[in-house]
Amino acid sequence: MLNIKKIFRKQNNQIEPNSENSYFDNFLLELGGLSHFTLQFFRELFRPPFEHREFLRQAYKIGLSTLPLIGITAFIMGLVLTLQSKPVMAEFGAESWLPGMVSVSIVREIGPVITALICAGKIGSGIGAELGSMRVTEQIDAMEVSGTNPVNYLVVTRVLATTFMIPILVVYADFISFYGSYVAINLHDYMSLRLFVNLAFDPLHYFDLIPATIKTFFFGFAIGLIGCYKGYFSENGTEGVGKAANSAVVISSLVIFIIDLIAVQLAELSSKFFV
Amino acid sequence: MIAENNISNLSIKESVIEIKNLKKAFNGNTILKDINLNVKKSENVVVLGKSGIGKSVLIKCIIGLIQQDSGSLKVFGKEVSEMNKKELNTLRTKVGFIFQGNALYDSMTVRENLEFPLRRNKIHKNSIDIEGLIVEALESVNLLDAIDKMPSELSGGMKKRIGVARTLILKPEIILYDEPTTGLDPLTSREISNLILEIQTKSKASSIIITHDLNCAKLASNRMLILHSGEFYAEGSFNELKNSDDEFVRAFFKTE
């Protein structure tokens, strides 16, 4: 039978979901462990000392390391989406709607989700592996035995950094995608940049922008928190570090889709309520 | 044998660590069965034992990294398992722990490694005070030149000494050494053993040293204990144990 106390003993790194438990038990243990870790994060968030320097260092690292990858992916995303949609739009004689359709798709859905998935792969696995190797080389224990709280220093700074950096990266990816779309349209035809901007931004409303932006904060929070959780409780040496990095990517990708699903439903409900 | 001469003085001193009937098991596998130990002020106690016997578990229990299943474990007269987070953190500033693998923060320079516990515990707010303490700690391990180096640029022996310096910077009253000379060449091992002895003489700190290195044990111990099957099997000075009638105890000294 599942011992719920195990979940709370996990903070001492003594209990891990294992093969003796059923899948459902392991799922509950993971969920309980993650919930407890989230509570710990919020407790430490408001507890001094505040590590501004480490937060900025992490934000800079996260932003800089993903910028080229997101830039290239976003450019191709805008370009391909436009090239694929163009013949269909032309068939309906609605080619002039192409920039608008691409911008709505990118801003509402494709931009945030694709950027978050790239970040889950690059940043989530990085955090999982970094904290995992700190755990197996006893660096986290060393922080604890020197009387400092590792959650405050390692987890709070990283989760805040991802929470604030992912929305910025999404906005950056959206603009690069627009540029990709503009290039795609101009590959065979000609459209001035001013006209493209007008056509692209005309169908965008606050109800497209606001929910799409809000959900990116949750994406960032989930990527940071899951990466930290998997790394912080990693064990079994280097094999455990690999597993931590891998499961950080898998779980955060899944959570991104779940958050997206909830965000879309909530946006739909709120648009009916307010408009 | 400088260290052995101090044994008679130690008997009248107060205990800083008192362990009674301590038990610890992992997944039903009992590692520590019945541990009883008293460590006096300024005493260096060496714990010998086979690999995987639970020596590191014992010192991790003392610092509160692992919680015992039953028994009493008092440090400075206070039960560790009953301490709240704040009390445990205060205790940890008084008890230093030197890890087997050094556990230096590899994303920080040597200076930042030493600065970290001071800054986080707000022991010294003044940056000039902090700098002074860092220099003092590095001078005590003869590694002031390495102040701006990254851990990856240091040799095994240097890393070990930086680990000692990081522990010393908080001026602990108890130091727990987890295999301090493992993986080091004989010369560096001797340097570390001398350093342990020097720390005891200078700072009057009590120590528990987990080691397989008999030279280190000989040089640094006031008292030695052999851990076997979850209990302390034998106790005495280096020479007493070396000349013991018990075959199992003598087996530890056969390489000597």
Q: Where do the domains of chain B lie? A: 3-106+163-251
- In sign, the C-alpha dihedral spanning A16, A21, A27, A31 is negative
For A196-236, the DSSP string reads HHHHHHTT--HHHHHHHHHHHHHHHHHHHHHHHHHHHT--S
Q: Count structural domains, chain A.
A: 1
Using one digit for the tens of pLDDT, what is the confidence trace for A46-72? 988 888 999 999 999 999 989 999 999
8 Å CB contact of B103 and A139: yes
Asked if the C-beta of B127 comes within 8 angstroms of chain A's C-beta atoms, the answer is: no
A95 pLDDT higher than 90: no
Predicted structure pTM score: 0.86
What does A227-264 look like in DSSP terms, one character per residue? HHHHHHT--SHHHHHHHHHHHHHHHHHHHHHHHHHHHH
Whether residue A149 and residue B117 make contact (CB cut-off 8 A), yes or no, is no
Cβ contact (<8 Å) for B105 and A14? no
Which residues partner with B78 through β-bridges? B75
Mutation target for A interface from B107, B120, B123, B208: give the one with most A CBs within 10 A: B120
Give me the interface pTM, i.e. the ipTM. 0.86
Tell me the per-residue pLDDT of B60-79, one tens digit each, with 9 for 90 and over: 999 999 999 999 999 999 99
Helix, strand, coil: what percent of chain B each, to 5?
Answer: 40, 25, 35
Q: What is the model's pLDDT at position B125?
A: 64
Q: Do B105 and A147 lie within an 8 Å CB cutoff?
A: no
CATH superfamily of B3-106+163-251: P-loop containing nucleotide triphosphate hydrolases (3.40.50.300)
The whole-number pLDDT of residue A166 equals 96
B104 near B159, Cβ under 8 Å? yes
Q: Which residues of A touch B121 (CB under 8 A)?
A: 146-148
B147 phi, psi to nearest 5 deg: -55, -35
Residue A153 Cα, gap to closest chain B Cα (Å):
9
Amino acid at residue number B232: F
Closest CA to B63 of A142, A44, A14, A139: A142
- Residue A198's domain comprises 50-274
Q: Tokens 């590959």 appear where?
A: A187
Question: Could you say which of B101, B106, B170 has the minimum Cβ distance to residue A146?
Answer: B170
Q: What pLDDT, in 10s, does the model give residues A13-49?
A: 444 556 666 788 888 888 999 999 999 999 999 988 8
- What confidence category does residue B124 fall into, taking pLDDT thresholds of 50, 70 and 90? low
Q: Answer whether B143 touches A (CB < 8 Å).
A: no
Say whether B21 sits in a helix, a strand or coil.
strand
Helix-strand-coil split of chain A, %, nearest 5: 85, 0, 15
How far apart CA A233 and CA A33 sit, in angstroms, is 10
Q: CA-nearest residue of chain B to A137?
A: B103
- In terms of Cβ atoms closer than 10 Å to its own Cβ (0-12, 13-18, 19+), residue B168 is buried
| Window B:80-119, CB contacts with A under 8 Å | 89-90, 92-93, 95-97, 99-101, 103-106, 116-117, 119
CB contact under 8 A, B65 and A149: no
Q: Is the pLDDT of residue B5 over 80?
A: no
Q: Reduce the DSSP state of residue A13 to 3 states and report it.
A: coil
- Whether B201 and chain A come into contact, CB under 8 Å, resolves to no
Of residues B66, B67, B105, nearest to A139 (C-beta): B105
Whether cis (ω within 30° of 0) applies to the bond prior to A68 is no
Residue A58 lies in a domain: yes
> Cβ B65–A146 below 8 Å, yes or no?
no
The residue whose two tokens read 């229990």 is B61
Residue B213 tokens, joined: 């290195």
pLDDT tens by residue, A233-255? 998 888 899 999 999 999 999 99
In tens, the pLDDT along A202-219 reads 988 888 888 899 999 999
Instruction: Supply the pLDDT for residue A257.
Output: 96
Q: How far B228 CA sits from the closest chain A CA (Å)?
A: 24
